[in-house]
């Protein structure tokens, strides 16, 4: 396949987001990885190379048409190539996948807990929960299987004793989702120290999911700014004002203690 300009732009965008992911604190070292769909292939970060040293030619290219470990490029793909490819293969609408060991999402994953509908932003991931996939050793087909199960009708999941993974229609939306999921994880973690949390009803989350059809980053300019909590807050506040007339919490979740595992 002849490389096009789009191909190289995607490689550059992957590196740009890797660098941003670490500078923002969303990820540490080379523990996270990013992939993007390019025609019938997947572009993915290589294994173990510091992001600062990455060049567009270092990004690995793998076919989406089979499950063999074959790639083009000078380095071996990320050890998590298996679940990146499985997620892209599972849904033709996904154009990118972001995986990080972000602090709060990873902390929740250590408790094996799913995130309930403690905030309406959970609807950004397609439903009233973000599940936590069952543990399996990194880089294994079993981990991919567990993740796909946890992501059924969802665009993200926590990964037990590991981190989180988010899919999106493109790189911007996948990274936006990763930021939102880490924020939601932090909020849920902090709120869990209170005596009770109001959990939104499934009906309310269905309404918000419908409103979210045209929500999220729309352009390259917006993505560059996902970093800014200010913009995220602003978007959230606008959405919140628009939804103030909706029914709110309907069910109490008393005395939530994170160590209680609810996958």
**Residues catalogued as catalytic:** 80
Lookup: tokens for 38: 């390019």
Contact between 72 and 144 under an 8 Å Cβ cutoff? The reply is no
Lookup: tokens for 134: 């069952």
Lookup: tokens for 237: 């506040």
User: Based on C-alpha coordinates, what's the Rg of the chain?
Assistant: 18
In degrees, rounded to 5, the angle at the alpha carbon of residue 104 between the alpha carbons of residues 223 and 155 is 55
Q: How far apart are CA 51 and CA 144, in angstroms?
A: 24
Q: How far apart are CA 119 and CA 44, in angstroms?
A: 32
Bridge partners of 96, per DSSP, are: 36, 168
């Amino acid at each position: 396949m002849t490389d096009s300009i789009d191909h190289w732009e995607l490689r550059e965008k992957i590196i740009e987001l890797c660098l941003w992911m670490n500078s923002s604190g969303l990820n540490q070292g080379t523990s996270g990885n990013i992939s993007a769909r390019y025609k019938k292939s997947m572009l993915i970060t290589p294994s173990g190379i510091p992001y600062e040293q990455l060049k567009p030619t270092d990004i690995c290219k793998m076919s989406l048409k089979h499950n063999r470990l074959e790639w083009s490029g000078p380095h071996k793909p990320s050890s998590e190539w298996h679940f990146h490819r499985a997620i892209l293969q599972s849904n033709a609408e996904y154009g990118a996948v972001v995986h990080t060991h972000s602090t709060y999402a990873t902390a929740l994953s250590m408790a094996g807990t799913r995130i309930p509908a403690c905030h309406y932003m959970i609807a950004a991931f397609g439903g009233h929960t973000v599940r936590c996939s069952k543990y399996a050793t990194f880089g294994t087909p079993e981990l991919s299987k567990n993740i796909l199960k946890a992501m059924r009708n969802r665009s993200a999941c926590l990964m037990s004793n590991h981190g989180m993974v988010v899919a999106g229609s493109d790189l911007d939306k996948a990274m936006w989702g990763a930021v939102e999921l880490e924020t939601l994880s932090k909020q849920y973690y902090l709120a869990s120290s209170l005596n009770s949390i109001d959990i939104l009803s499934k009906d309310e989350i269905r309404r918000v999911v419908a409103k979210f059809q045209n929500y999220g980053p729309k352009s390259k300019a917006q993505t560059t700014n996902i970093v800014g909590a200010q913009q995220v807050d602003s978007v959230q506040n606008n959405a919140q004002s628009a939804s103030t007339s909706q029914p709110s919490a309907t069910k109490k979740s008393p005395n939530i203690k994170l160590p209680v595992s609810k996958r």
